[in-house]
């Protein structure tokens, strides 16, 4: 038996959109449905929360889908699932893990799940993550809606002269739906650092001065690729720890996983309700959301 081969996204001669098309075709084939509707990326601490959305109808190991590989982080699951959204007849494509920029596989690998979600027919994507919080009122286990981001990776998933508008990247419509579900939800600006080290206290102070409320190592690049693809984006962070220097405790990955476990109830309920609301609400047309221009 030979190892399954996967296209090398990082090779400049590879077309990332055709790999996403191939991945979408495998997902359609394996799940028996031509299209999925809502995609979810489950970040640190969100692992169990997909279960409340509905029945899992199919589980596909990542390495059986073109362009995907096994998870690199302990505590992240290397599968994607096709999940019934309650009784709506719609389907969620739930990624149990993501590729992080710090893994060094390039930006194309980071956003491949997003492009595959588009190829699989999704019109909405919910990006979740575990992160550090700057607001001392946000104890470990607090979910916070992402209102906007600051991308400190010094890179972009967009190739060529495509000037994508990022105004209202994190859909006000979807944030309103989330507030309907949980009126107590706070919002914040997410700052993506490269990682994999956590920030120094000085870097956390800098993030605050820049207007950030949350610090993490994901989501922003994915959100940009989602906007380019015309997907409507919702971002939800789970504050698993106070950012470095905000509390006097050192940061540990074990603590992150622990906070996720503790918050699974509230976050799972929130996510399930939000996805149900998304599925039963009518989305604006792609034309009004896709914002690529080539004439800037
Ligand atoms: I979970 O405090 C988690 N991920 N950059 N900083 C950064 N990423 C994180 C943190 C944090 N906590």
For residue 45, give the ligand 1 atom closest to its CA: 1
Query: What is the distance in A from the centroid of ligand 1 to the CA of 225?
Result: 22
Terminal-residue alpha carbon distance, the chain: 51
Domain assignment of residue 286, yes or no: no
- Is the pLDDT confidence value at 3 over 50? no
**100 C-alpha vs ligand 1 centroid, how far in Å?**
12
In a domain, 153, yes or no: yes
pLDDT single digits (tens) 149-193? 999 999 999 999 999 999 999 999 999 999 999 999 999 999 999
176 in a domain, yes or no? yes
Q: What is the pTM of this model?
A: 0.92
The CATH number given to whatever domain includes residue 119 is: 3.40.50.1580
Q: Are 132 and 204 in contact (CB under 8 A)?
A: yes
Statement: residue 255 has pLDDT above 80: no
Q: What is the pLDDT of residue 128?
A: 96
Beta partners for residue 236, in sequence order: 128, 145
Q: Which of 188, 215, 219, 257 to mutate to test the pocket of ligand 1 (most atoms within 8 A of CB)?
A: 215
Q: Which of 8, 16, 30, 41 is nearest to 115 (CA)?
A: 16
Nearest residue to 117 via CA among 223, 267, 32 = 223
2 found inside a domain: no
Question: Can you tell me the distance from the alpha carbon of 111 to that of 223, in angstroms, rounded to the nearest whole number?
Answer: 9
| Active site (annotated) includes residue 55 | no
Mean pLDDT of the chain: 90
Q: 76 or 172: whose pLDDT is higher?
A: 172
SS (H, E, C) the chain: CCCCCCCCCCCCCCCHHHHHHHHHHHHHHHHCCCCCCEEEECCCCCCCHHHHCCCEEEEEEHHHCCCCCCCCCCCCCCEEEEEECCCCCCEEEEECCCCCHHHCCCHHHHHHHHHHHHHCCCCEEEEEEEEEECCCCCCCCEEEEEEEEEECCCCCCCCCCCEECCCCCECHHHHHHHHHHCCCCEEEEEEECCCCCCCCHHHHHHHHHCCCCEEECCCHHHHHHHHHHCCEEEEEEEEEEECECCECCCCCHHHHHHHHHHHHHHHHHHHHHHHHHHHHCCCCCHHHHCCEECCC
The residue that leads in pLDDT, 146 or 260, is 146
pLDDT at residue 41 greater than cutoff 80 = yes
Query: Of 55, 199, 258, 269, which is the active-site residue?
Result: 199
244, part of any domain: yes
Identify whether the C-beta of residue 229 lies closer than 8 Å to the C-beta of residue 120.
Answer: no
288 occurs within a structural domain:
no
Q: Are 100 and 73 in contact (CB under 8 A)?
A: yes
What is the pLDDT, as a whole number, of residue 75? 55
**Cβ count within 10 A of residue 59:** 15
Region of 152 on the Ramachandran plot (φ > 0 left; ψ -120 to 50 alpha; else beta) = alpha
> What span, in angstroms and rounded, lies between the C-alpha atoms of 282 and 294?
29
What range does the domain containing 171 cover? 16-280
List 59's β-bridge partners, or say none: 81
How high is the pLDDT of residue 267? 87
Establish if 114 belongs to a structural domain: yes
The CA distances from residue 120 to 25, 123, 135, 209, 290, in Å, are: 7, 9, 37, 40, 17
Q: Is 152 near ligand 1, meaning CB less than 6 Å away?
A: no
For the cut 50, the answer to whether the pLDDT of residue 288 exceeds it is no
Q: At what angle do helices 107-119 and 220-229 cross, to 10 degrees?
A: 40
Residue with the nearest Cα to atom 11 of ligand 1?
A: 132
Look at residue 180 and tell me if it is in a domain.
yes
Q: How many domains does the chain have?
A: 1
pLDDT range class, residue 296, cuts 50, 70, 90: very low
**Ligand 1 mutation pick, 216, 239, 255, max ligand atoms within 8 A of CB:** 216
**Atom 7 of ligand 1 has which residue's CA nearest to it?**
216
């Amino acid at each position: 038996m030979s190892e399954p081969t996967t296209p090398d996204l990082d090779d400049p001669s590879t077309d990332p959109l055709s790999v996403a098309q191939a991945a979408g075709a495998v997902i359609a084939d394996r799940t028996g449905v031509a299209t999925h509707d809502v995609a979810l990326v489950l970040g640190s601490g969100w692992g169990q929360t997909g279960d409340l959305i509905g029945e899992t109808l199919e589980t596909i190991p990542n390495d059986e889908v073109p362009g995907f590989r096994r998870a690199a982080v302990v505590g992240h699951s290397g599968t994607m699932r096709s999940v019934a959204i309650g009784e709506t007849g719609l389907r969620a494509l739930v990624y149990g893990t993501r590729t992080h920029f710090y893994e060094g596989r390039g930006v194309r690998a980071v956003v491949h799940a997003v492009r595959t979600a588009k190829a699989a027919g999704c019109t909405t994507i919910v990006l979740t993550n575990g992160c550090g919080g700057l607001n001392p009122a946000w104890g470990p286990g607090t979910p916070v809606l992402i209102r906007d981001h600051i991308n400190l990776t010094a890179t972009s998933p967009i190739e060529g002269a495509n000037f994508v508008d990022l105004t209202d990247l994190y859909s006000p419509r979807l944030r309103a739906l989330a507030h309907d579900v949980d009126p107590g939800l706070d919002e914040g600006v997410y700052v993506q650092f490269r990682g994999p080290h956590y920030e120094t206290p000085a870097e956390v102070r800098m993030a605050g001065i820049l207007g950030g409320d949350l610090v993490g190592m994901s989501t922003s690049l994915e959100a940009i690729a989602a906007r380019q693809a015309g997907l409507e984006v919702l971002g939800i962070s789970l504050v698993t720890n106070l950012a470095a220097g905000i509390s006097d405790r050192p940061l540990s990955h074990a603590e992150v996983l622990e906070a996720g476990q503790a918050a699974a109830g509230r976050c799972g309920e929130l996510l399930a309700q939000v996805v149900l609301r998304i599925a039963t609400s009518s989305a604006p047309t792609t034309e009004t959301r896709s914002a690529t221009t080539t004439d800037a």
